[in-house]
Chain A
Amino acid sequence: DTEVTQTPKHLVMGMTNKKSLKCEQHMGHRAMYWYKQKAKKPPELMFVYSYEKLSINESVPSRFSPECPNSSLLNLHLHALQPEDSALYLCASSPETSRSEQFFGPGTRLTVL
């Protein structure tokens, strides 16, 4: 399996809701990432996990909470989001954290009402 999968594909939530995004890879990659992408902009790094440990948090607000239950799974827990958090959330994985290709999932299109 050479793909990164993400669920759900689309998510609409209110500002008081709690939801989770899920990401899975079975390529044996040791690094996993969450990115946020706005229209016509590059992916913006949020979090990096290396060997299941959080290695980089790009000063992301605490209403976004990542979790890496095991080497194949990555979650992003959402709580009390703002409308400006509406975006495409991309998960990616790579064999190592630098100097290697990142494989992106199809993304979750999030709308916060």
Chain B
Amino acid sequence: GENVEQHPSTLSVQEGDSAVIKCTYSDSASNYFPWYKQELGKRPQLIIDIRSNVGEKKDQRIAVTLNKTAKHFSLHITETQPEDSAVYFCAASSTSYDKVIFGPGTSLSVIP
């Protein structure tokens, strides 16, 4: 079955710097890659997603890139702010296995 790995497990950046979180997946049939943000004590919420027919997607300070050949995808957050502090989960999904597989998560701390 699909396996999603995520690095780093913890990340600490200064406010205003960029943060990058990287994920890899194993199943070449995976074709949908969402990213969820979970603040402490809150529910996971989708922040951005990308489908396999697209290499990059951007939404204001957040961007995601996908390399299908290498089975890598990454989250880029620019001009980080303290409210970006949270746990970020990458995930993979496919109609072939009909569910979402989450990575283990990255705890991001933005230091004011």
Contacts and interface: CB of A to CB of B under 8 A. Distances in A.
Interface string A53-91: 001100000000000000000000000000000000010
Interface residues of B, number: 24
- Majority DSSP secondary structure for residues of A touching B: loop
| Interface size class, chain A | 20 to 34
Given A42-B102, A45-B99, A99 B94 contact: yes
A101 B34 contact: yes
Contacts of A40: 87, 105, 107
Given A45-B99, A55-B98, A102 B104 contact: no
Interface of A: 40-43, 45, 48, 50, 55-56, 90, 97-102, 104-107
Contacts of B103: 42
Contacts, number: 53
12 contacts: A40-B107, A48-B99, A56-B98, A56-B99, A98-B93, A98-B94, A99-B31, A99-B32, A100-B32, A101-B34, A106-B42, A106-B43
B98 A104 contact: no
A101 B104 contact: no
A43 B45 CA distance: 12
